[in-house]
Amino acid sequence: MGTRHRGSIEEINALNAFIKLQRAAESVSTRIHAVLPEGLTVTQFGVLESLHHIGPLCQGELAEKLLRSGGNLTLVVDNLEKAGYVLRERDPADRRFVVVKLTEKGQAFISEIFPKVLANVTREMAALSSTELLDLGRLCKKIGLHS
């Protein structure tokens, strides 16, 4: 179902494409993250996955990578810290920065759940050919960087 907006062809095309993009993103995200344990949010998973693949990061870097506000990310990291998955340390080189690291428990946890999420990502994206996946990635990046 497309837009019911009665505007110019450019407006209608833009709205229809946006609606399809949003619906697809929400639908795919819901199916991909269905394997997350109850109580673990998508943002919490994003923090754990980032630390798993990149290593320790400052909270500001995490917020930027996950497109979250600093305040929102502080709460997310607070909850992960309470669960014993991450710890915060002051950067010894610059004490103004707080570095977030995985604990052993956090490393074991993300190592267990990441393959399940990855399998869902792979299954969802199998609807597209390799060329279509590259095109989709290029188009999403183009939209994301447009200002």
Q: What is the CATH number of the domain that holds 139?
A: 1.10.10.10
52: nearest Cα among 87, 102, 95: 102
pTM for this prediction: 0.85
**Do both 47 and 30 map to the same domain?**
no
**Do both 101 and 45 map to the same domain?**
yes
Place of tokens 């917020």: 63
**Do both 15 and 60 map to the same domain?**
no
**Do both 61 and 110 map to the same domain?**
yes
Number of domains forming the structure of the chain: 2
Range of the domain at 15: 1-35
Phi then psi for residue 88, to 5 deg, are -110, 140
**Do both 71 and 28 map to the same domain?**
no
**Do both 44 and 25 map to the same domain?**
no
Q: Over its length of 147 residues, how does the chain's per-residue pLDDT go in tens digits? A: 666 778 889 998 999 999 999 999 999 999 999 999 999 999 999 999 999 999 999 998 999 999 888 888 999 999 999 999 999 998 778 788 889 999 999 999 999 999 999 999 999 999 999 999 999 999 999 998 887
